[in-house]
Amino acid sequence: MKDPFILFWAALIVGSVLWYGFLVFYVGIKAGRDIIQMIAALKRDHAASDRR
């Protein structure tokens, strides 16, 4: 059990599960906001090109 490779993979498995959970929560909120801002920017660009 004290094989360094086993400890390495065990730590990475725990880290990956926690990281995926965090990413879904944190990036989920932030990326949702990014989408709203992206649509707003596209609308602005379209309105500007229509005026030209």
**What's the min distance (Å) between Cβ of 31 and other proteins?**
4
Residue whose entry in the numeric block shows the structure tokens 């949702």: 32
Alpha-carbon separation of residue 10 from 29, 40, 48 (angstroms)? 29, 44, 54
Answer yes or no whether residue 38 interacts with other proteins by CB under 8 A. yes
DSSP secondary structure code for residue 1 in this structure: -
Of 2, 5, 47, 48, the one binding other proteins by CB under 8 A? 5
Those residues whose C-beta lies under 8 Å from the C-beta of residue 47, and which sit 6 or more positions away, are: none
The residues of the shown chain that bind other proteins, judged by CB under 8 A, are 1, 3, 5-6, 9-10, 12-13, 15-17, 19-21, 23-24, 27-28, 30-35, 37-39, 41-43, 45-46, 49
